[in-house]
Structure 1
Amino acid sequence: MKEKAKIKLGVSIGDLNGIGCEVILKTFEDSRMLDFCTPVIYASNKLISQQKSALGLNVNFHGIREASQAVDGKINIVNVWKETLQIEFGAATDEAGKYAIKSLRAAVSDLKSDTIDVLVTAPINKKNIQSDAFKFPGHTDFLAQELEGNSLMLMVAESLRVGLLTDHIAVKDVANAITPKLIREKVKTIEESLRMDFNVRRPKIAVLGINPHSGDNGTIGEEDDKILKPSIRELFDEGILVYGPYSADSFFGSNGYKNFDAILAAYHDQGLIPFKTLSFGKGVNYTAGLHKVRTSPDHGTAYEIAGKGVADSSSFKEAVFTGIQVFRNRMEHKELIKNPLQKQKPKKAS
């Protein structure tokens, strides 16, 4: 297994006009972070110099042509482009979206080839990234296409883990999108991730209802009774410790979530509103179910404070630590599968 200092942690730069560069540089401004990983940031020396100067940060970096040249103990910048870009803090420009995707594509290419071990993505603007060559609502959908596996958006803050049955779709489409096939796929993905990525030996999973009060026995919609309950029952009968559906309005307030290793919410806001309330800005967005490790902070571009030097890097730093830990857990898991402990045969009595 790789030594801690040898883990190459790739970073895509995100929206140039948001707080992405700021939280990245603030994270690695602390030299102790270089004891845990070798950061490889996909951008350009010129851009990082611009951001460093504008934000008044004291960060030294090492420019390289490709990630294979990364030096341990330094903040490495892969020069994905050479041109000088115009930074307009707080503005959702087409140029910022274009270069955010250039950074992301270069980082994902290296992740696929094992040139880097982990990918941490800084926030993007879901509108200005759109083009004829990139038509995805966000990172997760793009990564699901590029990397093997069944992706699942899993929000993590210590022992609190909230996954989503559906993520970036309109609320009006949620009920029709949730099918027995989708439920089975997402429950199995989160169960496997808990075992492989978080070292939970026998995961317990809660599923939240689709409708208020989980439908009140069909009074407020029939989806919970006709789709969720039978699917949960089948999975439980197969040996997966999955329970529900639980009424979402009281589940977190009553501390019921503390009895489970993960919660699977029916849709985006049902899961993320309580998660972000409880995690206090230190949560991490982890893409479970892929054959590679990707994390990101739990916040967006924060245009309203971009360029002011006041952005909190706590969530990005947690994303780095989570990515490193998941990578290590996966390596240990692979070793255990490859070299399981052999049961010793009892010695014969002499």
Structure 2
Amino acid sequence: MKSAEKIKLGVSIGDLNGIGSEIALKTFEDPRMLDFCTPVIFASAKTISFLNKRFKFDIKFQGVEDASQAIEGKVNVVNVWKETVPINFGEEDKVAGEYSFKSLEAATKALKEDHIDVLVTAPINKHNIQSENFNFPGHTDYLAKELEGDSLMFMITPEAAGLKVGLLTDHVAVKDVAAAITPELIEKKINIIYKTLQQDFRVQQPKIAVLGINPHSGDNGVIGKEDEEVLKPTLENIRNNGKMVFGPYSADSFFGSGNYKNFDAVVAAYHDQGLIPFKTLSFGNGVNFTAGLKKVRTSPDHGTAYEIAGKNKADHHSFKEAVFKAIDIYRNRMEYMELTKDVLKKQGKKI
């Protein structure tokens, strides 16, 4: 566990034409943030200098060639590129997509090589980043491939006992959702959530709610048969194996009734079923955490917001919460691993 040294927190800069760079720099403009971590921004000193002046920030940053050279007590900028990059705030263009990938690629490599401890990703544009090297619907799938894990989009609020929403399917077209939800997928996703609640959020015996696939959870097969034939028997099987998993619950009343407060996490069948209520209840403070990976990655709960980009109007609180959550999760995970090692030693098992 990091004790003497502060956690090295990598930042991929996102789409330069959006608000990602603004919210990242607003976060680290506060010198008190350096008490919690050593920030490492993957961009270039030239780009950050331009943004510093554009937004009238007064950030004293340190340019480095490699994340391993990051200096504690400084905002570090890794020179991923050296050329001048045209920044056209509010516009979607291919150049911005190319540089958002360059930043993400370099940050992910540093994370894999342990030159940074955690990664916070600023928003990308899922369209203009597409290329031969990035053919994914978003960060989550790219990181799952690069970091060799079973990823899961897990939306969380800052409060320790706050709302946590995981997804069975994330960036999947609505017409394909029902076919994508299989017993194997349900078990895999719930196992990821169960483990992340234990190791990353200190919940010893997780209690998980699962929302129905169809309206009213199918009304006993009247509105679709997926809940009766796929979801219910799978959840029963998971319960028989000792996990406290309940449902399916009708999604339309679950959040409005406050029922979500009775559980450590909620599992939604598809993207909008989970994210509409989540963002309604927590927009601007929520955090997207990629569970299921060996490394810690978080991001703010919003996109590039081209409509306000470059105007110094962006609210940075979600990004700031993503920074704090990445630090908290990393420390919780390291502590969990140490405790697990101690238990195995006492049991005489090999680590």
Work out whether the TM-score is over 0.5.
yes
| Superimposed CA distance per residue, residues 12-55 of structure 1 (whole angstroms, 9 cap, x where no aligned partner) | 00000000000000000010100000000000011111111112
The aligned counterpart of 2:86 is: 86
Deviation of the 1:59 alpha carbon: 1.3
Taking the aligned partners of 1:142 and 1:4, their CA distance within structure 2 comes to: 32
Whether 1:192 and 2:195 are equivalent positions in the alignment is yes
Output aligned runs, 1:31-70, within 5 Å.
31-70=31-70
How many Å separate the matches in 2 of 1:4 and 1:166?
40
Counterpart in the other structure of 2:332: 329
What is the rounded CA distance, in whole Å, between the counterparts of 1:4 and 1:170 in structure 2?
Answer: 47
2: CA distance between counterparts of 1:141 and 1:279? 24
Corresponding residue number in structure 1 for 2:8: 8
Deviations 1:100-156 (A, max 9, x none): 000000000010111100000000000000012211110000001011321000000
Structure 1's consecutive aligned runs of 4 or more residues displaced over 2 angstroms after TM superposition are 340-343
Moved more, 140-149 or 186-195: 140-149
SS at match of 1:149: coil
Question: For each residue in 1:273-328, what CA deviation from the matched residue of structure 2 results, as whole angstroms up to 9, or x when unmatched?
Answer: 00011113100000000000000000000000000001000000000000000000
Contact 1:4 1:36 in 2 (8 A): no
Within 5 Å, which residues of 2 pair with 1:296-307?
Answer: 296-307=299-310
| Counterpart for residue 217 of structure 2 | 214
2:9 alignment partner, SS class: strand
Where 1:78 maps in the other structure, the secondary structure is: strand
Query: 1:102/1:341 Cα in 2 relative to 1: closer, same or farther (>3 Å)?
Result: closer
Measured against aligned partners, the alpha-carbon deviations of 1:181-213 in whole angstroms (never above 9, x if no partner) come to: 000000000000000000000000000000000
Which residue number in structure 2 is paired with residue 277 of structure 1?
A: 280
Asked whether the equivalents of residues 283 and 301 of structure 2 are also in contact (C-alpha less than 8 Å), the reply is no
CA distance in structure 1 between the partners assigned to 2:318 and 2:97 by the alignment: 22
Against the structure 1 CA distance between its residues 57 and 194, is the aligned structure 2 distance closer, same or farther, given a 3 Å change threshold? same
Could you tell me the TM-score, scaled by structure 2's length?
0.96
Amino acid at match of 1:311: A
Give the secondary structure class of the aligned counterpart of 2:343.
coil
* C-alpha contact (below 8 Å) 2:153/2:288 kept by paired residues: yes
**Aligned-partner Cα distance in 2 for 1:264–1:257:** 10
**Which residue identity lines up with residue 276 of structure 2 in the other structure?**
I
Q: Give 1:79 deviation, angstroms.
A: 0.2
Q: Give the Å deviation of 1:58.
A: 1.8
The residue type equivalent to 2:138 in the other structure is G
Match of 1:162 among 160, 165, 177: 165
Any gaps of 5 or more consecutive residues in structure 1?
344-350
Answer yes or no: is the 8 Å Cα contact 1:4–1:35 preserved in 2. no
User: 1:57: Cα distance to partner?
Assistant: 1.6
Give 2:349's aligned residue: none
Work out the CA distance in 2 between the residues paired with 1:26 and 1:326. 22
3-state SS in 2 of match to 1:310: coil
- Aligned with residue 311 of structure 1, among 314, 317, 321: 314
- For residue 230 of structure 2, the aligned residue among 218, 223, 227 is 227
- Aligned match of 2:207: 204
Q: What residue identity is the alignment partner of 2:67?
A: A
8 Å contact from structure 2 (residues 284, 301) kept in 1: yes
Equivalent-residue separation in structure 1 for 2:134 and 2:299 (angstroms): 20
Aligned partners of 1:300 and 1:207: how far apart in 2? 26
CA distance in 1, matches of 2:97, 2:291: 25
Deviation at 1:340, TM superposition (A): 2.7
Alpha-carbon separation, structure 2, partners of 1:321 and 1:302 = 22
Take 1:105 and 1:4, find their aligned partners in 2: how far apart are those partners? 29
One-letter amino acid matched to 1:268: H
